[in-house]
Amino acid sequence: MTTPFYVSPQQAMADRAEYARKGIARGRSVVVLQYADGILFVAENPSRALHKVSEIYDRIAFAAVGKYNEFENLRIGGVRYADLRGYTYDRDDVTARGLANVYAQTLGTIFSSAAEKPYEVELIVAEVGDGPEDDQIYRLPHDGSIVDEHGSVAVGGNADQISSYLDQRHREGLTLAEGLKLAVESLARDNNGGERSLTAEQLEVAVLDRTRPQQRKFKRVLGSQLARLLESEGTPADSAAEGESPAEESTDTEE
């Protein structure tokens, strides 16, 4: 009779965490930061069909890095949770904190289960408030822990270097153009400290804009609007994204 191979629980969890971190680090980064009129999402993503940033509910958006099929399943689950809770109770009862708790439970259960591999994903759930002091940004690593972020946050790729760059330069009251310029500069930095050039075709940009009169605050920044913002060199610009059809605006909440 052979003796079963033994691995301590601590070593097993460390190995699972390392596996998940390596998978997440292979993905292109996403930056989320507060600006004067809301919350800005900028992802390095050349695909126009596979989104890293999506709307969840009226004031709530979702960003993710890692394996697309895994975070897409989580996004769909979040949309269903939000729709059901808003229908059963009240739309105001759907909050980023509640959604983050649901995601944390799911990720934590999967991470601690020996029956399946951990998810190779890192999530950001954000909710825009009536004022900057009411904005909420939560980062959820692969193990299901929740980190309450303020100002700016980066996930995926060389997130530590990008976060350090953002921490040194982010300030309150940025215009949309200034926030976009800062986000793109941070994403363009490589692991050796050099800089790359990122074009509008390589970026996925969206905002939660508190100034929108609609109940839904999520808006994608596309086409000519994005090009103008990138060319504005951080000068003040209208924070309302243009050139998006109603069908594009509602795509992310329709399952």
pLDDT tens string 67-81: 999 999 999 999 999
Return d(Cα 95, Cα 100) in angstroms, integer: 9
pLDDT tens string 109-129: 999 987 789 999 999 999 999
φ, ψ at 17 (rounded to 5°): -65, -40
Q: How many residues does the chain have?
A: 255
Q: Which residues contact 141 (CB under 8 A, 6 or more apart)?
A: 107, 122, 147
Residue 235 structure tokens: 């000068």
**Closest CA relative to residue 63, chosen from 29, 106, 14, 114:** 29
**Closest CA relative to residue 203, chosen from 177, 180, 237, 170:** 180
Band of the pLDDT at 249, cuts 50, 70, 90?
very low
pLDDT at 254 over 70: no
Return d(Cα 15, Cα 18) in angstroms, integer: 5
Return d(Cα 129, Cα 40) in angstroms, integer: 13
Return d(Cα 73, Cα 234) in angstroms, integer: 36
Judged by average pLDDT, the poorest of 193-197, 205-209, 229-233, 249-253 is 249-253
- Asked whether the beta carbons of 220 and 43 are under 8 A apart, the reply is no
pLDDT at 236 over 60: no
Task: Give the domain ranges of the chain.
Answer: 35-241
Written out in words, the top-level CATH class of the domain with range 35-241 is alpha beta
Return d(Cα 176, Cα 153) in angstroms, integer: 16
Q: Are strands 60-66 and 121-127 parallel, antiparallel or unpaired?
A: antiparallel
